[in-house]
Homo-oligomer: A and B are copies of this chain.
Amino acid sequence: MQTSVLLENLMQALQCLPGVGPKSSQRMAFHLLQRDRRGGLNLANVLSQAMDEIGHCIDCNTFTESTQCHICASVKRQSNKTLCIVETPADIHAIEQTGQFSGRYFVLMGHLSPLDGIGPKELGLDKLAKRLIEEEITEVILATNPTIEGEVTANYIAQICLECDVTASRIAHGIPVGGDLEMVDSTTLSHSFVGRTKILNN
């Protein structure tokens, strides 16, 4: 028997979060009710605002509540004529944390997948081609996922770059830093041999 319908609803609603099942949702609901009602209310407000207001950046497609995201709007970023192509906004987050890249991004919001009806138009590749020419981009870094679909998408965009006379490069595949060579799968290992770089050049 339930003690409260609203509590059951809360447990149910929490399960829309990835990785949250019946047990975790119960733990979360009781935690919020017993110890952190203010945090729960704050989460409710921010969540409702975010779901309503966050749309896509007019230039790069990433999530933002403004017309243009902070990165696209940055004058310093605009002076760098490199464009990095990623599949999702989460990838931008990951790349930004490295501090390695100071150009701008273009988010595909997916990858080419003809069976699911996702073609070049759905990924906004016409918009991308326009940007390449209009903004005088000098290099496109293809940072799509290292999956079959990601590779196909990267190759397709490389073709567009060729037509627009823009250099296209792919991020390196190889063994992860700190990884154990014998634990790395053979495809990755063979990629690391193909993509080897010279050291101590004389």
Interface residues of A (CB under 8 A from B): 1-7, 9-10, 12-14, 16-19, 24, 26-34, 36-37, 39-54, 57, 62-66, 69-71, 74, 77, 88-90, 92-93, 96, 109
Contacts and interface: CB of A to CB of B under 8 A. Distances in A.
B18 A27 contact: yes
A96 B3 CA distance: 10
Contact of A29 (B3, B19, B50): B50
A39 B170 CA distance: 36
Nearest to A94: B26
Contact of A3 (B39, B50, B71): B71
Contacts of A31: 17-18
Given A3-B70, A7-B65, A34-B89, 19 more contacts: A3-B92, A4-B63, A4-B69, A9-B46, A10-B50, A13-B39, A13-B42, A13-B46, A13-B47, A16-B39, A17-B32, A18-B28, A19-B27, A26-B90, A26-B93, A33-B54, A34-B109, A37-B51, A40-B50
- How many copies the complex holds: the figure is 2
Contacts of A37: 51
Given A40-B16, A46-B9, A34 B88 contact: yes
A173 B39 CA distance: 36
A7 B28 CA distance: 21
Contact of A50 (B9, B39, B46): B9
